[in-house]
Structure 1
Amino acid sequence: MTVALMWEARAVPGRGGELLEWARAQRLDGTPLRRETFRAPEDRVLVITWWDAPYDAELPELPEPDGELVTRAVHRWRFESLGSA
């Protein structure tokens, strides 16, 4: 089974580039099948990692950034892949 972990944070206005650099510099304990990083308006950063693991497996996730860098707590979601079209 492939599990996708999504991590999304919103930087303090004007610090989106710094949050993006921070997220890219974070190393995980383990190597995902794939890791992709996105950015969006309003200084948002999204990281998705894909893992070959059961849905409820304990998997490494990105930590919370420094509270002075973000406007709110990180949002996290877990999904089971159903394949690609």
Structure 2
Amino acid sequence: MSGWSAGALSIVDAPARQRLFPHADRADWKDLPHLIAALEQGCAYLTTYNVDDYEPGHPEIDVLRPGALVQRVREQLSSL
């Protein structure tokens, strides 16, 4: 699948292995494809219960637990 999108959801292919190597120290190797896919798609957030697997992460992406993401969205909506 080369990519699929419906509203706020996009499904994309896993990044090629060679695109992971420059970021190898940003997350556990098994989770790195998720972080790099989010980075390449311009995501501001990546939500997971395993936030420790994404340390130190990437400065362009906030890795949050689902509850923290909901709280962040509520805060942003309340300031509109």
Structure number with the higher strand fraction is 1
TM-score range relative to shorter protein: under 0.3
Q: TM-score, normalised on structure 2?
A: 0.25
Structure number with the higher helix fraction is 2
